[in-house]
Amino acid sequence: MGFYQFNQNNSGGYILNDNNVAEYVFIEADSAIEANQRAESLGMFSLPFCECCGERFWRLAADDKPLQNGDKIDLFTMEDKITILYHFKNDKKEESFDLSRGRRLSAYWEE
């Protein structure tokens, strides 16, 4: 079991944030297939998008691996803050970081 990262595409020039989605979503699952199933149940693959920009979230490949301790995570935003949602097997947690537009936040994954 581990966490799989989903990054929201800035489709239409804006990011959607609600109880299930954010600019960056991390889903705890036993496999990439299960992570995709959980993402689908959260409505991540049926969000509105514009034709020129494409879908907001893409499905993981079946052989994608979860994040490992020490993996570098680069987060970038054109918004005023980065919003992150963690969907644990039995819970959810939201974090946000205020940044200047066009700024990057780098971190290392640690469970």
pLDDT digits (tens, 9 = 90+) for 48-103: 899 999 999 999 999 999 999 888 888 877 777 778 888 998 877 767 666 655 56
Place of tokens 């079991």: 1
Q: What pLDDT, on the 0 to 100 scale, is given for residue 25?
A: 94
Decide if 35 contacts 60 (C-beta within 8 A): yes
**Alpha carbon 99 to its chain's center:** 18
Render pLDDT for 15-38 as a digit per residue (tens, 0 to 9): 898 889 999 999 999 999 999 999
Q: What pLDDT, on the 0 to 100 scale, is given for residue 103?
A: 66
Q: What pLDDT, on the 0 to 100 scale, is given for residue 19?
A: 87
Q: What pLDDT, on the 0 to 100 scale, is given for residue 26?
A: 93
Question: What are the residue boundaries of the structural domains of the chain, listed by start?
Answer: 2-108
Q: What pLDDT, on the 0 to 100 scale, is given for residue 100?
A: 56
**Between 14 and 99, where is the model more confident?**
14
Decide if 5 contacts 70 (C-beta within 8 A): no
